[in-house]
Structure 1
Amino acid sequence: MDLSLSPFHFVTLDQTQVRSCLFYPPKNNQSNFFEYGFSVKNGRTMASFFAVPFSYGKGLPPKPEPNCRTVFTKSRIEDRPIIGEPDLGIIIGKLVLMGKFKEALEFFEILESREEPMDMSTCDSLVNACIALKSSTGAKRVFYYLIQRGFSSDLYINNRVLLMLLKCGLISDADRWFDEMPERNVVSWSIMVNGASNLGFYKEALGLFVKIWEELTDGDSRIFAAAIRACAGLAVASYGMQLHACTVKMSLETEIFISCALVDMYSKCGIIEDARMVFDLMPEKNVVGWNSMIAGYALNGYSEEAMDLYYEMQRASVKMDQFTYSCTIRVCARLALLEHAKQAHAGLVRNGFGLDTVANTALVDFYSRWGRIEDARRVFDKMIKPNVISWNAMIAGYGNHGMGMEAIELFKQMLSKGMKPNHVTFLAVLSACSYSGLSDQGWHYFESMSRDHKIKPRAMHYACMIELLGREGLLDQAFSLIRDAPFKPTENMWAALLTASRVHKNFELGRFAAERLIGMEPEKLANYIVLLNIYNASGREDDVTKVRQALLRRGLRLLPAFSWINIKKRSHGFLFGDKSHPQTSDIYKKLDEMMKEIVNYGYVPPVRSLLPDVLEEEDQLVVYHSEKLAVAFGLISTPEFTSLQVVQGHRICGDCHATLKLIAFVTRREIVVRDAGKFHHFKRAKCSCGDYW
C-alpha cells in the first residue's frame, strides 16, 4: 500500500502482516529532513511511532527504516500487536512517569499473559500506578502476580508492595505479604502500623506495636506516632498516656510527629488541657500542629478558643492549608460568624485551595446552614469533583430551606453523574420531602432505598416518613409505622409523632408520645415543656402540677429564649422582654407600631397559645418575644429593601410565626428565621415550612 505522508501527519496501515516499515517521500523533491508519525495495526495490537527522522535526495532511496521498538501510545488491549517484542517494562515505566496510570495497568494485562518475570523497576512503577489510582483491583492483580511468580526482590520493593496494599485498603493481603517477607526493618513495621491505624484497625495496630519490641531494640518516632493515633481512634487515654511516657523516657516527645499525634489523641479523648500543654511545649509548631489543636478545640465544643487560636496562627504568619480553612469554616458555622467565614473563604481562594473538595464542602454546609442557599449553590457548582458528602450537603441545604423540588432535582442530577448515594443522601432527600410536604416523592424514594440501591432504611429514615404522614394529618398511619418498624422506636420517631399531634391538636396521642420521650430522655427539658403545654392546653391542671413537680425534682429549668441578628457585621442579641439594648425605646416603638398594623390584616392576639418549648412565664410576654424584638431592631437598622435573618436557640412559637408572616407582608421584606428545628422563610404572608414545625 503506497501512502504519501505529510510532515507531522499520522496514518494507520490496516491489515498489515509484515514487520517492516516502508517510507515514501512527499511529492516534492527538496532535500530536507522531515518527521513522520504513523501506527501499524495487524488486528491484535497497535504500535505508534513518533519523531521518525529521515532524509532523501533526488534519485536517492530513503534512509534505512528506523527501529520499530520505540514509544507506544494508549490503545485498546486487544488492538496492540507485538512488534519486535517490545519491552513492556520500559513502556509501563514511561507511562507512569507521564502520569498515565490507567494505561500502565492496561499494559500490565499483557505482561500477566506472558511467562516472563517482572523486574524491580517495573514492579515499582506498577506500585506507583496503583497508589495513585487507589485501585484495589490493580493492587490485587499485582499482588497475586508476584505471589504466583515467586517474586523475590530486595527489601525496598517488598516495603513498597506492602505500602501499596495498605494504601488500597487490602489489609488481609498486606498482612499475608508482611508475614512472608524474608526480611523486615523499621520501615516495614512503620508502614504496617501506620496502614492498620489509617484503615481503622486500631487494636491490630497496637498489637503490631507490641510485637515490634520482639524484633527491634529501638523505637522509631513514626511508629510511636502511629500507635498514638490508634489510641486516639479507640479513645483510650490510658494507653495513650503510657505511650506518651515512653516517648519522654526515650527523648522523643519533642519530635513533630509525636507531638501532633499526642495533641490529636488527647483531644479525641476529651482531655483538652493536656492537648494544649503538649501543643505549648512543641519547640517548632508546623501547620499540622496548629490544625490539630484548632480541630481539638472544635471537637470538644470550645469554638471561641478555636477561633482565638486561628487568629493567633495568623499573627504567627504560619502558612495555612486547606484543612485549616475547612476547620475554621465549620467553627464559624457553629458560632454564626458570617463575616469571618467569608474571610476564610477568601483566604482559601487566595492561597490556591479554591478547588479543594473538603474545604468547599464545608463552605456549602456553612452557607446552607446560615440562610445563604444561593451562595452555597454557587460554591457547589464551581467544584470540579464533588464527592458524595458534597452532594449530601447541598441536598440537605435545599431541604432545610423548604426547597424540596430543588433537592429532588439535585438528587436526580447526582444519580445521572454516576454517584452512588448512601444512607445520608436518602436522609437528606426524605427530610426535604417531609419538610416540603412531597408525599408521593417521599414514599417513592423511601421504597427505592432497599429496592434499587440496596440500602436498608434506618430509624432516622422512618422518622422522616412519620413526619410526612403527620404533616398530612394521618396520625393513625404514623403511629402504625412506629409500631410496625423492624426495630425499637427511637427518640426521633416519637418526636416526629409528638410534633404531628401538637400541630393537629391530638392531645391524647401527643401525651402518649411525650411520655415515651421522657422515658427515653429523662434529662431533656424540652420534652417536659411540650408535655406541660399539652396538658395546659387540654385543661388537665392536675397533670400540669405533676410535670412541674417532676421538673423541680430533677432540677431542670428552661433557659430564657435568646435570639440574635447581625447588623453591619455586628451581632445583637435579645432575650424575651429584653430592655438592655441601647435602642430599646426605638425597638419597642417599632414593634408596637407593627403589632397595631398587622391587626388590620387579620392578626388576632392569642388568649392561650400552645407553644413548642416555652414556659408559661414567657408566654405571658408573648408580644415581646426575643425574635420579635430582633426583627424590630432589624427593621429600624436596615434599608427597606434588605432581607432580615434572625437566629434563635429555641423553636419559634405559634404567635411569633403568625406575626412574622404578616410583618413580612406589610413591610414587603423577606424575613428568615433559623430556629432549633429548621429554617423559616417568611415572604408574602407565607412561610416555607407550610405552617408545620
Structure 2
Amino acid sequence: MPPPPPAFASMDVWYLHLLRSCAAPWHVAAVHAHIVRSHPAASVFLRNSLLAAYCRLVGPLPARALLDEMPRRNAVSFNLLIDAYSRAGHTDLSLGTFAWALASGIKVDRFTYAATLAACSRAGDVRTGKAVHALAVVDGISRGVFVSNSLISMYARCGKMDEARRVFEVAVEHDDVSWNSLISGYVRAGQYQEMLSVFGLMRRRGMGLNSFALGSVIKCCSCGGDIGGHVAEAVHGCVVKAGLDSDVFLASAMIDMYAKKGVLGNAVALFKSVQEPNVIVFNAMIAGFCRDEAAVDKEVMREALNLYSELQSRGIKPTEFTFSSVIRACNLAGELEFGKQLHGQVLKHSSHGDDFIGSALIDLYSNSGCLEDGYRCFRSLHKEDIVTWTSLITGCVQNERFEEALRLFQELLCYGLKPDLFTISSVMNACASLAVARIGEQIQSLATKSGFDRFTVMGNSCIHMYARSGDVDAATQRFLEMESRDVVSWSAVISSHAQHGSARDALHTFYDMMDAKVAPNEITFLGVLTACSHGGLVDEGLRYYEIMSKEYGLSPTIKHCTCVVDLLGRAGRLADAEAFIRDSMFHDDPVVWRSLLASCRIHGEMERGQLVADRIMELEPSSSASYVILYNMYLEAGELSLATKTRDLMKERGVRKEPGLSWIELRSEVHSFVAGGKSHPDSNAIYAKLAEMLSRIERSAITDNVSTESNDISSREQNLMGCHSEKLAVAFGRIRLPQSAPIRVMKNLRVCRDCHSTMKLLSRSENREIILRDAIRFHHFRGGSCSCGDYW
C-alpha cells in the first residue's frame, strides 16, 4: 500500500481512491485493516466510503456488521445498506433497515425513500410501499420528482396503475423517467389504450422522445391485439421524426411489431433500410417470417433461411435465438436437410445444450418422421426444462407412438417437473388415440389440480379423449361444463356424436353452434358430413357440402369429398358417387375410389366394384386395403375363385395386410389381442369363456347367418374368424369386468360382418352393453342391435 499523502486533510480522499480501486473482497479487507490501525478516528465520510465498498464487493451481511460498529451514522449510511439488501433480494432486511433508521432518529432523505421504495418494488410489496408513501407525504417530499418517480415505478411494478397515475398527476414536476415509468407500467399491465393516451399527452406537452419511451410504445403496439396497423405506422413516424430510425434496438422492435401485426411487407422494407444491421435486427426479421405460420407459405419460410445465409456472409456470429428461429423456419418449410446442416453448426458453436434450440430440433426431426434423431437431441439436453419434454412427447404423438408418449410423461413426473398446459394436452391426445379413458381421467385430475381445467384447450382435449374412448356422454358433459368454447370445442362434440352414430344429435349441436355465432371451419363440416353419412341423411349432407363453400368460403378437402362419396355410396347411389369423383379435383386420389369400392361391396355391385378396384390398383398398387375390400366382396358374393385370385395377387405383388389388433383397458392397464393369439397370460381362460359365450348363442337358437356366410371360406379362415381379436377382447372383458360395466373394445381395422353379427347376439345373450370402436366409427351393441343400424 503506498504511503499516505503528507497533508492530513486529504487522508479521506486518499482512502477513497484506494477503496474505489478495490476489485476483490480481500482488497477491501486490507484497506479496512489499514484504516483501523492508522486512522481510528475516521470521519463519517470515510466510514461510509468503506461501507459502500463492503456493499459492492463483500456483501450486505458483513456491511451490516460494519454499520453496527460505526460510532456515528447518517442517512447515507442507512441508504447504502437498504440498497444493498434490496439488490441482494433480502427485502425484509432492507425494510427493517429503513425502520431502524427512523427509530434511530436519523433524518432520512429522498435517497432513503427511493432505495426503500425500490425494495418494495422488487418484492411486489404494495402494502409496505403505501406505508412508505405515507411517510414521504408527512415529510413533505412525496411530490418531488425524485421520490414521485420512485413511487410511480413502485406502483407500476406492483400492477397498481391507478395509484401510479394519481402520483403522476399530483407531482410538481415530470422528467423523462416520470413519463417512461408510467408508459412502461401500462405496457406491463396490458392496458394498451391507456398507454397510447399517455403517449399522446406526452407529445402534446412537448416532451422529447427517447429510445426507452419509444421502445415501450412499440412493444405496446406489438402486444396489443386491438391496436391497428395505422397506429404502428404512426409510431414508426414518431421514431423517424425523433431521428432515432438508425437505432438498431428500435429497428428490431419495429420489425417485430410489423410482423406481429401481419404487415410483413413493412417489416421487410424496414429491415432493408437498416444500414448496418446487427444480429438482433437479423433475429427480429427471421422470427418475423415465422411469426404467423398459418398465414405464410413455404416460400416465405425459405426467405428466412436466405436471411441466415446473408447473416453468415456478413460475418455476423449467430446467437442461440438465431439458431432456434432458423430451425423453426426449417420445420415450417419442410427443409430437413438444411436443418441438419444447422444442427451441425449448433454443435460447432457449442450451443446444443440450449433448451430452446433443443426443442426446435426435436420439433424438426419429429415433424419429419425422424423421431430417433429427436430422441438423440433430447438426451443431449438438461432434463429440467418442461418445453423439451413437451416437444418430444408431442413428437411421439405425431408419429403415432402413443405408448412412448405416456411413458415419457410418467418419466417427466418422476423427475419432479410440473407439466404445463401443452404437455397435458399432448398426453391427453395420446390417451384419445389409445382410447385409454382411465389413464385419461387420471391426467384430467392432474390438470384440475394444476388449475388447467379452466382453459379451453384443456376442455377440448378432454372432449376428444372421452369421445375416442367410447364415452360420448362424458364428452358431452365436459362440453357443457366449459366456461368458454371455441370452434374446436363445437367441432369436437359434433364429431363425437357423428362417430357414435347419433346423427341428429350432431346436427342439433351444429344448429346450437350457429345460434352461438361461432363460425364453423373445415373440421366442423367434416363432422357434419360424417354424421349425415353414418345416419343416411343424403339430402342434408349434400346441402351442407354446398353451403360449406358458398356461404362460408371453405374449400373442400379430400376428407370432405370422401364423406360425400361415402354418403352417396351407402345410400346406393353408386353412379352419382362415381360421377362426383370424376368431377372433383381429387379424381386421382385412391382414397375416394376406395370409399366407392367399399360401397360396391355393401350393395354387391360386382361389375362396378371390379372396375373401381382396377382404378385403385392403378393409382396405388401397394395398398392392402383395396385388396382386402375386393377379397371380401368376392367372398360375400360366393365367388371363391375370384377371392382366391385376389389373395394370390396380393402375395405376388408382395402386399401385406395390416394385422388386426384389438385392445381393452382395465384398471389403467391395456391388454392387446390378435386373431388366434395366445400370448396373453390368461389365454386359456379367455378361450374357454369365448367358447362358452358362443355356445350359449347356439343353444339359445339366436343365430344369424354366420354359418352360411362361411360356407365358402377355408377351414383355417373359419377358425380365425371364430377367434378374431375383438371377440377375444370381449371375452376377457366378460371375465374381468362387473356385470354393470360396459365392455369397451378398440380395433385398428374395420370390424367384419361376422364379428358385427356376433357382437349383437352377445349383447343380448350376455345382457350387457358392448362398445366397439373400429377404424371407421363406434358401434354400441345393446339388446341384440347396433347403434349403426347395420349401416356402416
Normalised by the size of structure 1, how large is the TM-score? 0.78
CA distance change for structure 1 residues 617 and 498 in 2, over 3 Å: closer, same or farther?
farther
* 1:380 counterpart = 2:482: no
Q: Does residue 194 in structure 1 map to residue 284 in structure 2?
A: no
Change (3 A) 1:258 1:478: closer
**1:314 maps onto 2:407 in alignment:** no
> Equivalent residue of 1:672, what SS?
strand
The 3 A distance-change label for structure 1 pair 102 and 402 is farther
Pair 1:422-2:521 in alignment: yes
Identify the residue that residue 697 of structure 2 maps to in structure 1.
595
Distance 1:415 1:294, change over 3 A: same
1:606 aligns with 2:707: yes
Alignment equivalent of 1:650, drawn from 743, 749, 768:
749
1:587 Cα offset (Å): 0.9
Aligned to 1:143: 233
Query: TM-score scaled to structure 2, two decimals?
Result: 0.69
State the AA in 1 paired with 2:387. Answer: V
Among candidates 358, 366, 374, match of residue 259 of structure 1: 358
Tell me what 1:584 maps to.
686
How far off is 1:585 after superposition? 5.4
Question: Alpha carbons of 1:400 and 1:305: their partners in 2 closer, same or farther (altered >3 Å)?
Answer: same
Q: Is 1:395–1:428's contact at 8 Å kept on the other side of the alignment?
A: yes
Larger radius of gyration: 2
| Superposed displacement of residue 244, structure 1 | 2.4
Residue 176 (structure 1) aligned with residue 269 (structure 2): yes
Map 1:463-482 onto structure 2 (within 5 A): 463-482=562-581
Where is the helix percentage greater, Structure 1 or Structure 2? 2
1:270·1:300 contact (CA, 8 Å) conserved in 2?
Answer: yes
Question: Within 1, Cα distance between the matches of 2:361 and 2:563?
Answer: 41
Contact 1:297-1:303 within 8 A present in 2 as well: yes
Provide the secondary structure at the position in 2 that maps to 1:320. coil
d(CA) in 2 for partners of 1:204, 1:126: 28
| TM-aligned CA distance change 1:197 to 1:280, over 3 Å | same
Measured at CA, do residues 579 and 306 of structure 1 come closer, stay the same or move farther in structure 2, by a change above 3 Å? closer
Which residue does 2:222 correspond to in 1?
A: 131
Deviation at 1:462, TM superposition (A): 2.4
For residues 235 and 648 of structure 1, the distance between their equivalents in structure 2, rounded to whole angstroms, comes to 33
Q: What is the identity, as a one-letter code, of the residue corresponding to 1:158?
A: A
Separation in structure 1 between the aligned mates of residue 692 and residue 553 of structure 2, nearest angstrom: 56
Q: How far off its partner does 1:526 sit?
A: 2.2
Q: Please give the per-residue CA displacement for 1:559-615, whole angstroms capped at 9, x wherever unaligned.
A: 553322223333333333455514135413431343225524x5343312599xx99
1:548 aligns with 2:647: yes
* 1:118-517 mapped onto 2 (5 Å cutoff): 119=209, 124=215, 126-135=217-226, 138-143=228-233, 146-147=236-237, 150-151=240-241, 152-153=243-244, 154-181=247-274, 184-200=277-293, 201-215=300-314, 217-283=316-382, 285-517=384-616
User: Is the 2:236–2:254 Cα contact (8 Å) retained in structure 1?
Assistant: no
What is the CA distance between 1:142 and its match in structure 2? 2.0
- The answer to whether the 8 Å contact 2:217/2:235 transfers is no
- Paired position in structure 2 for 1:630: 729
Q: Distance in 2 between matches of 1:115 and 1:616?
A: 96
CA distance in 2, matches of 1:266, 1:206: 17
Which residue pairs with 1:62 in the alignment?
Answer: none
Letter in 2 for 1:193: I
Cα 1:594–1:132 change in 2 (3 A) is farther
Q: Deviations over 1:425-462 (max 9, x none)?
A: 21111111111222232122112112211223333222
Q: Please say if residues 590 and 632 of structure 1, whose CA atoms lie closer than 8 Å, have aligned partners that are also in contact.
A: no
Give 1:674 shift: 0.5
Report deviation, 1:343: 2.1
Worse overlay, 203-212 or 165-174? 165-174
Alpha-carbon separation, structure 2, partners of 1:170 and 1:610: 69
Structure 2 Cα separation of the partners of residues 639 and 305 of structure 1? 30
SS in structure 1 of the partner of residue 376 of structure 2 = helix
Secondary structure of the residue aligned to 1:478 is helix
Give the superposition deviation at 1:346.
Answer: 1.6
SS of the residue corresponding to residue 598 of structure 2 reads: helix
Verify: 1:674 aligned to 2:773, yes or no: yes
Report deviation, 1:387: 3.1
* Letter in structure 2 aligned against 1:639: P
SS at match of 1:599: coil
What is the deviation of 1:183? 5.8
Counterpart position of 1:11: none
CA deviations 1:484-525 (Å, max 9, x no partner) are: 335425323212222222112222222222222222221121
For the residue of structure 1 that corresponds to 2:463, the secondary structure is helix
Which residue of structure 1 lines up, in the alignment, with residue 82 of structure 2? none
Aligned 1:32-181 pairs, distance under 5 A: 99-101=190-192, 119=209, 124=215, 126-135=217-226, 138-143=228-233, 146-147=236-237, 150-151=240-241, 152-153=243-244, 154-181=247-274
When residues 391 and 146 of structure 1 are mapped into structure 2, their CA distance, relative to the original with a 3 A threshold, is same
Code of the residue aligned with 2:706 in structure 1: it is: P
Aligned length: 605
Q: Provide the C-alpha distance between the structure 1 equivalents of 2:284 and 2:179, rounded to a whole number of angstroms.
A: 29
Q: Matched residues, percent identical?
A: 32
Stretch moving more, 96-105 or 368-377: 96-105
In structure 2, stretches of 5+ residues that fail to align are 1-160, 163-177, 294-299
Residue 257 of structure 2 aligns with an amino acid whose one-letter code is M
Q: Distance in 2 between matches of 1:668 and 1:293?
A: 44
Kindly state the Cα deviation for residue 315 of structure 1 after the two structures are TM-superposed.
Answer: 1.2
Partner of 1:20: none
Offset, 1:555: 2.3
The Cα shift of 1:660 comes to 1.7
Letter in 2 for 1:143: E
Partner secondary structure for residue 553 of structure 2: coil
Q: 8 Å contact 1:330–1:362 — kept in the other structure? A: yes
Aligned-partner residue type, residue 709 of structure 2: R
Q: 1:438 to 1:148 in 2, by over 3 A?
A: farther
1:603 partner SS: coil
The amino acid that maps onto 2:516 is K
Which structure 1 segments of 5+ residues have no match? 1-71, 74-86
Q: Is the 8 A contact 1:491 1:520 kept in 2?
A: yes
The answer on whether the counterparts of 1:564 and 1:646 sit within 8 Å (CA) in structure 2 is: yes
Secondary structure in 1 matching 2:771: strand
C-alpha spacing 1:508/1:95, structure 2 compared with 1 (3 Å): same
1:510/1:109 Cα in 2 relative to 1: closer, same or farther (>3 Å)? farther
Deviations 1:333-379 (A, max 9, x none): 33333332222212222122222333332222221111122222233
AA of the residue aligned to 2:378: F
Secondary structure of the structure 1 residue equivalent to 2:290: helix
Higher mean displacement: 418-427 or 315-324: 418-427
